[in-house]
Structure 1
Amino acid sequence: MKITIVGGGYVGLVSGACFAKTGHDVTIVDVDSSKVGMINSKKPPIYEKGLEEILNETAGKNLCASTGYDSVADSDVSMICVGTPQGEDGSANLAYIKQAASSIGKELKKSLGYRVVAVKSTVPPGTTENFVRPEVLRASGKSVDDIGFAMNPEFLREGIAVFDFMNPDRIVVGSDTEKAGEIIEKLYSCINGDVIHTKTTAAEMIKYTSNAFLATKISFSNEIGNICKALGVDVYEVMKGVGMDHRISPYFLNAGAGFGGSCFPKDVSAIASIAEGMGLDPVLLKSVLKINDAQPLRIVEILENRAGSLKNKKITVLGLAFKDNTDDIRDSRSTPVIGALLSRGAHVSAYDPMASGSMKKIYPEIEYCNSPSDALRDSDGCLVMTEWPEFSELDKEFSLMKSQIVIEGRRILSVEDREGICW
């Protein structure tokens, strides 16, 4: 099948590359010409395990990138994968969705035959039906007999997104007609996964609910972790026992510095905003966000209790990405921690295998080092914020510190005499 992916960001690029790997003819549309050039040159603009290998295999063959929408008219499916950033009021900003729908509709004026427009971006329930569909039909001058609409949410974990795409827990297909749903399902014919057919609004809500529930598990674990620390109980022992209950499962029960990334914070905020807009009070969801906002600052409080005033002290931050195996710093727990350290007059040295360049755009004034040793040398304290595997191997490097105060936001270290945020 011929597919146009609108949006060459994280979701669009990974999805487009994986669709090409399974044999489809894919065009990725993005306004960023430098990103388009990189994709066409087989160079991924983001780091994702396995992505470069797929681009080497498909780019220039059945995968290309463009700044124009010309491919839409001949595509069986046009898939919207643009961002839905969080607005000031916590709601999802749909400006890029509207722009994509309008541009797709204009190109579909030229199309012959039945076409499907699918949304893969995370959007509030009702967006596909009440926002995308009327905009595409208006811009194209066509009817629902000519264009079908679908919602096909993604469930990709950064760092292993290619694996997740190829080995999905489920494939959710929300559609306004059976015909449109069958075409979207056909896209995944080479991938093993249970297909769930729903209405578009249900598919949109499945995505929000999944992220909100996982975020809730994390904040719940952190709340329990804070209590366990006060009681002198090992929260990891507690959660190991809890997670063995098949009704709960062991996943997302690791207490620590909280969740970040491009999905959980904005999606929980968006669904809470939707609820409030309908006159409901989403107490649990607001608590999930409140706990998550406060959690990383606890590590700074623990550091102050151990080291005293942080003014003019050198504090090392190991890990800047919101999780390992990515260079993504969106809503990284390191960001508020660095801000808190600087506000207390500390001098911050930082190390991350991939994310230093990204964090430098936010905090250009701190010292970025090329190794953990360089970052730790003569430091008065160390905060470990990301679970990079290489950090688990650190040992003698901590002896380079002036004062060996080591506090973890993720349970990754094997060195003795370290303290955890929740243990």
Structure 2
Amino acid sequence: MKQTLTHPVVIGGGPVGLVLALSLQQAGVPVTVLEAQPPGAMYGDGRALALSSGTRQVLEQLGVWNTLQSKVTAIDTIHVSQQKGFGRALLKAGEHQLPALGYVVSYGALMQALDARIAESSSGLEIQYQVPVQNLHVDANAAEITFQTAGATDRQSTDLIATPLAIIADGGRSLESIPGLVRETKHYGHDALVGLVQTELPHRNIAYERFTPFGPMALLPNGEHFSLVWTGEQTYIDQIAALDDAAFLQALHQAFGDRVGKFLHIGKRGRFPLKLSKLEQTFPAHCVVIGNAAQTMHPVAGQGFNVGIRDAMALARNIAASSAAEWGTVHRLAQYHQSRARDTGRGLIFTDFLVNVFSNDLIGVGLLRGAGLGALSMLPFARRLLVNKMSYGS
């Protein structure tokens, strides 16, 4: 059965898709969200997200922050250093008149807060759960979304929705089946190993970014412990991942140093491959891709998720400033893409630069890295530019 809607449809009910939906609802624009998973499926997801100051402001505007703030850990200071080399830099929230440089929260806690806000006022915002998208067809007049549904007898069937604007915000899960989208991907050959680690000394709301010859590693304050992100070539991460807990903690101490004392305990470890990717070709009208579905970045600077939130807010402003007859038209989507090109482009370049320059042990490169960190430590305007970039984008 085909249903024709006159408002936007968001494919993907994760944080980026829900921020967009709430923003549209707040602007008085009706919106439907299609989510493949059941409600609450991600509440137990403990993955750590680093929220920028700009993302906090977005969540405040949407009425989400009050529910969330008891579950976040503020980052007051960022300590940047390199292994086997001189030079370090400190970024402090007080120097930039910010309450914090960022915040760490679990994916599941953010989803609960967003769902709670939606439940308070669902007028104009409809979410359909357990409806995986099977196909998306875009023509000159509309986007048609085919998705799977489960009836009362649990028999699978398919439905079809036509919409003036389909927004893909599902992290890229549906892209493989959609013709017309071309992705350029750079595989680093690196993996990230993540987990929650307990240390001898308290974190004091300090986040650590440490560059090693094998790749960057980060410790993010999370509750009373740290969330670890340890990156490196896949063969190196294979060796680290195979260690038992005691040997793993010893290797972590050797790579990181003594700044937080001994590493006492590591929780469940996970890993995922690292890549840089962006869409090279998108539809001129009636379909737009945002968040990780549009661009994927190395986690070295914690930019990817926050860039996705800025995508959502820019698109919401674009839609709200248009008449209903313009939703999804060529010129409106062109304006959106133009508004986001600088921020996303610079984010991709910035993270790629950090990985390439700070993840090797070539002769002379360590001295240049040290000089760069020293300059950052001595130059207030450079720290201000970096903090503004991390907080609000370009």
- TM-score class, shorter-chain normalisation, is under 0.3
TM-score of the two chains, using structure 2 as the length reference: 0.24
Higher relative contact order (CA 8 A, sep 6+): 2
Query: Is the strand fraction higher in 1 or 2?
Result: 2
TM-score of the two chains, using structure 1 as the length reference: 0.23
Query: Is the helix fraction higher in 1 or 2?
Result: 1
Q: Report which of the two structures shows the higher radius of gyration computed on alpha carbons.
A: 1
